[in-house]
Amino acid sequence: MNEQATTPVVRRVDARHRYEILVDDQRAGLTAYRDRDDRRVFFHTEIDDAHAGRGLAAVLVAQALADVRASGMRIVPVCPYVAKFLKKHGEFADITDPVTPAVLQWLDGQLGR
């Protein structure tokens, strides 16, 4: 009998501008972005209630940010969760850019708000 939890899987879904985390092949959460040239602007992260409080957001964001680095891009943390994650995990400081009013205005336009 195998009672171990399955390892969550993170995938980038380019068409939806987001990374998703899957548990047992079911989507358990996402972190959403828009790309501004070589900057990946993260603006929202959510984990479904059924999976909350187990560290999934940290797994999701860690793998998303590693993918940004692998893509040769930079990070802009508009999402408060991503911003908090980056404060705790200094290894991405070299590829992180500040959130500026210009980025926020651009993001509003991208999101139609």
Q: Out of 45, 68, 75, 86, which residue is the one contacting ligand COA (CB under 6 A)?
A: 45
> Rounded to the nearest whole angstrom, what is the least distance from the CB of residue 37 to ligand COA in the complex?
23
Does 81 bind ligand COA (CB under 6 A)? Our answer is yes
End-to-end CA distance of the chain: 51
Q: In what order do the strands lie in the sheet with 39-47?
A: 9-13, 18-23, 26-36, 39-47, 74-77
Contact present, 63 and 84 (Cβ < 8 Å): no
Does 109 bind ligand COA (CB under 6 A)? Our answer is no
Q: Out of 55, 91, 93, 100, which residue is the one contacting ligand COA (CB under 6 A)?
A: 55
